[in-house]
């Protein structure tokens, strides 16, 4: 079953982008709605005011007719008074006019089709009551016929002494064609404007969302690359948001805590390595002790002073013991070199000259040396520097297969940012990916001989000088070891 779509699945940049677009769409819809409501309110006010103006003008005209008529001003004479004048009034004011008696029955109408014999409906009683009871003696009835709004005003006709004579009715049909046309034209123009604004908003929203989340992207990249087993870089940027600045400070604080945890972990790993090394050394020393004990016991059991082969047996016995003792001595010596932190006999020396001198013992023509400067003076232990070079060059030579036609081992020395960089490169087989993480571990080796302590020893030497050793390797192409040592001025 397909998973439901959630807003949380989108990135923050996309959510900001979509939010801005939605806000613009909502604003355009609200603007169009408000405009339509405004137009309709204006149309309503226009029709209301127009009907009132027409009513005032017609009543003034009616008062003029009443003032100049020769008929007595009575309700019974209204039909006679306006018999000829009502059509004139309707044409002048362009509006239908109906005159009712006080009882609500039609007296006179300006309709061309009106006949006195026709039965016209009277004014509803509730309207008569509203007209007579209102302060202005006026009422406007609003009805909808086939979706068209009709207004019909009812007001009292009075003589000069304010005596009611009848009721004036003005039917008014609201024609909103003009306003409907205006609304359509306005909405068309509004859609064009908002269409253009929407295109601008798309571009603006995209750039703004990218700008807002740029700092978050930097933090995300840093977090994804953060690891306990490496040197993590802090973030040194100043964001425009207080919250993002707090996040950056929290990340930098986490990096500091990770470094402290890494140091504790490294210390724990070193202690574990020493324990493993002690077990290994104990095992390596115990192995020759057993044959030595058996040899001594066998010699003691079979010893005969009168044996003519006594000298030969004694010689064989001695060689066996010496061989086993040499094995134990080799193990003890290797462990001693790895475990000890030799006293540094620092002296002022030319690093370039010492490195070149260390390479003299390698007679291979494939070993090349180069230096950007002839002199890089520092203060350090000559023997330990030679040991570093010898070990790295020896490993580089051994990393190249014997049957490889073209062999190359390059050693270079240069100065960089107050440090001396020594690089040893080879075009050998490279380091297998599964072995990369274990290169500097004690007793790790890929060779058939040796105890795997060489790189561990020189790593300790380099770290004693507050330096670093790193390497880059490519399977089938070779390896480059880089030693960085601070230049300690004399």
324 and 430 assigned to the same domain: no
With bands split at pLDDT 50, 70 and 90, how would you rate the model's confidence at 2?
A: very low
pLDDT at 410: 92
pLDDT of residue 420: 92
Q: What is the pLDDT, as a whole number, of residue 451? A: 40
Q: Are residues 356 and 309 in the same domain?
A: no
**Which of residues 172 and 339 earns the better pLDDT score?**
172
Q: Locate 448 and state its tokens.
A: 């058939």
With respect to residue 280, please indicate whether it lies within any of the assigned structural domains: yes
pLDDT exceeds cutoff 90 at 249: no
- The pLDDT confidence band at residue 370, using thresholds 50, 70 and 90, is very high
Is residue 236 one of the residues assigned to a domain? no
For residue 20, is it within any domain? yes
52 shares a domain with 131 = yes
Task: Tell whether 399 and 311 lie within a shared domain.
Answer: no
120 lies in a domain? yes
- The reply to whether 376 falls in a domain is yes
pTM: 0.36
Tokens encoding 450: 């040796």
Give a yes or no: residue 235 inside a domain: no
Mind listing the pLDDT tens digit for each residue in 78-118? 888 888 788 888 888 888 888 888 888 888 888 765 444 45
For residues 262 and 256, what is the distance between their CA atoms, to the nearest angstrom? Answer: 10
pLDDT higher than threshold 60 for residue 403: yes
**Using 50, 70 and 90 to split pLDDT, how confident is the model at 42?**
confident
- 325 and 350 assigned to the same domain: no
Domain count, the chain: 3
Q: Which CATH number does the domain housing residue 95 bear?
A: 3.30.450.20
Q: Judge whether residue 333 has pLDDT over 90.
A: no
Whole-number Cα distances in Å, 219 to 61, 224, 233, 245 = 84, 9, 11, 10
Who has greater pLDDT, 266 or 125? 125
Give the domain range for residue 23: 8-180
- 185 assigned to some structural domain: no
Domain edge (last residue) among 339, 372, 398: 339
In this structure, the answer to whether residues 160 and 267 fall within a common structural domain is no
More confident position, 3 or 366: 366
**Could you tell me if 14 and 147 lie in one domain?**
yes
Q: What angle do CA 275, 271, 344 make, to 5 degrees?
A: 105
Closest CA to 345 of 376, 375, 385, 377: 385
Question: Do 83 and 64 share a structural domain?
Answer: yes
pLDDT tens track for 432-446: 888 888 787 765 555
Query: Residue 366 belongs to a domain with what CATH number?
Result: 3.30.565.10
Q: What's the pLDDT at 129?
A: 87
What does the pLDDT look like over 284-309, one tens digit per residue? 666 666 666 766 777 777 777 777 77
Range picked from 26-35, 231-240, 273-282, 303-312 for highest mean pLDDT = 26-35
Residue 198 lies in a domain: no
Q: How many CA atoms lie within 13 A of 475 on its CB side?
A: 5
For residues 282 and 376, membership in a common domain is answered with no
Q: Is the pLDDT of residue 257 over 50?
A: yes
If DSSP states are collapsed to H, E and C, what string results for the chain? Answer: CCCCCCHHHCCHHHHHHHHHHHHHHHHHHHHHHHHHHHHHHHHHHHHHHHHHHHHHHHHHHHHHHHHHCCCCCCHHHHHHHCCCHHHHHHHHHCCCCEEECCCCCEEEECCCCCCCCCCCCCCCHHHHHHHHHCCCCEEEEEEEECCEEEEEEEEEEECCCCCEEEEEEEEEECCCHHHHHHHHHHHHHHHHHHHHHHHHHHHHHHHHHHHHHHHHHHHHHHHHCCCCCCCCCCCCCCCCCHHHHHHHHHHHHHHHHHHHHHHHHHHHHHHHHHHHHHHHHHHHHHHHHHHHHHHHHHHHHHCCCCCCCHHHHHHHHHHHHHHHHHHHHHHHHHHHHHHCCCCCCEEEEEHHHHHHHHHHHCCCCCEEEEECCCCCEEEEEHHHHHHHHHHHHHHHHHCCCCCCCCCCEEEEEEEECCEEEEEEEECCCCCCHHHHHHCCCCCCCCCCCCCCCHHHHHHHHHHHCCCEEEEEEECCCEEEEEEEEECCCC
pLDDT computed for residue 12 by the predictor: 64
Q: For residue 276, is pLDDT > 50? A: yes
- Token digits of residue 334: 């290797």
**pLDDT at 239 (0 to 100):** 59
Mean predicted confidence (pLDDT) in 243-255: 74
Of 291, 315, 339, the one marking the end of a domain is 339
The tokens describing 419, both together, are 């440090």
pLDDT one-digit tens code per residue, 169-192: 888 876 666 667 777 777 788 778
Question: pLDDT at position 93, please?
Answer: 83
Ranges 163-172, 250-259, 271-280, 341-350, most confident: 163-172
Q: Which is more confident, 428 or 379?
A: 428
pLDDT of 225 higher than 70 = no
Q: At CA 478, angle to CA 475 and CA 484, rounded to 5?
A: 120
448 has a pLDDT exceeding 50: no
The answer on pLDDT for 144 being more than 90 is no
Query: Chain-wide mean pLDDT for the chain?
Result: 77
Residue 320 is predicted with a pLDDT of 65
User: Are 334 and 351 part of one and the same domain?
Assistant: no
Q: Are residues 27 and 127 in the same domain?
A: yes
Q: Which among 463, 376, 357, 462 is positioned nearest to 414, based on CA atoms? A: 376
Least confident of 277-286, 410-419, 421-430, 453-462: 277-286
- Higher per-residue pLDDT: 243 or 95: 95
For residue 346, name the pLDDT band (cuts at 50, 70, 90). confident
- Euclidean distance between CA atoms 362 and 109, whole angstroms: 131
Task: Please tell me whether residues 78 and 137 are part of one structural domain.
Answer: yes
Among 180, 199, 215, identify where a domain stops. 180
pLDDT at 178: 62
Q: What is the pLDDT of residue 483?
A: 93
Residue 383: per-residue pLDDT: 80
């Amino acid at each position: 079953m397909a998973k439901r779509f959630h807003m949380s699945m989108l990135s923050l940049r996309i959510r900001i982008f979509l939010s801005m677009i939605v806000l613009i769409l909502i604003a355009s819809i609200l603007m169009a709605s408000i405009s339509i409501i405004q137009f309709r309110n204006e149309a309503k006010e226009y029709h209301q005011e127009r009907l009132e103006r027409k009513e005032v003008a017609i009543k003034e005209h009616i008062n003029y007719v009443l003032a100049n008529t020769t008929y007595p001003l009575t309700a019974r004479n209204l039909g006679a008074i306006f018999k000829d004048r009502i059509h004139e009034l309707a044409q002048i004011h362009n509006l239908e006019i109906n005159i009712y008696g006080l009882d609500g029955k039609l007296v006179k109408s300006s309709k061309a089709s009106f006949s006195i014999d026709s039965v016209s409906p009277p004014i509803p009683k509730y309207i008569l009551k509203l007209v007579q009871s209102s302060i202005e003696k006026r009422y406007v009835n609003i009805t909808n016929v086939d979706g068209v709004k009709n207004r019909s005003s009812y007001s009292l006709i009075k003589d000069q002494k304010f005596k009611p004579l009848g009721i004036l009715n003005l039917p008014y049909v609201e024609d909103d064609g003009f306003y409907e046309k205006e609304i359509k034209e306005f909405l068309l123009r509004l859609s064009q404007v908002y269409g253009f604004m929407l295109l601008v908003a798309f571009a603006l929203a995209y750039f703004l969302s990218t700008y807002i989340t740029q700092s978050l992207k930097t933090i995300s990249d840093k977090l994804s690359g953060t690891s306990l087993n490496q040197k993590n870089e802090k973030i040194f940027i100043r964001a425009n948001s207080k919250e993002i600045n707090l996040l950056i400070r929290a990340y930098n604080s986490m990096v500091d805590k990770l470094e402290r945890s890494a140091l504790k972990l490294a210390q724990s790993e070193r202690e574990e390595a020493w324990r493993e090394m002690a077990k290994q050394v104990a095992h390596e020393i115990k192995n020759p002790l057993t044959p030595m004990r058996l040899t001594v016991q066998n010699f003691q059991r079979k010893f005969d002073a009168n044996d003519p082969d006594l000298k030969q047996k004694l010689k064989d016995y001695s060689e066996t013991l010496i061989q086993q003792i040499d094995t134990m001595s080799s193990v003890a010596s290797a462990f001693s070199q790895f475990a000890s932190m030799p006293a540094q006999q620092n002296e002022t020396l030319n690093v370039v000259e010492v490195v070149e001198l260390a390479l003299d013992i390698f007679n291979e023509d494939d070993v090349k040396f180069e230096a950007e400067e002839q002199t890089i003076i520092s203060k350090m232990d000559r023997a330990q520097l030679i040991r570093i070079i010898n070990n790295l060059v020896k490993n580089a030579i051994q990393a190249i297969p014997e049957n490889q036609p073209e062999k190359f081992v390059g050693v270079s020395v240069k100065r960089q940012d107050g440090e001396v960089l020594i690089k040893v490169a080879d075009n050998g087989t490279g380091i297998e990916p599964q072995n990369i993480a274990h290169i500097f571990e004690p007793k790790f080796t890929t060779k058939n001989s040796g105890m795997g302590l060489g790189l561990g020893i020189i790593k300790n030497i380099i770290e004693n000088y507050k330096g670093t050793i790193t390497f880059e390797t490519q399977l089938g192409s070779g390896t480059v070891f880089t030693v960085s040592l601070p230049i300690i001025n004399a």
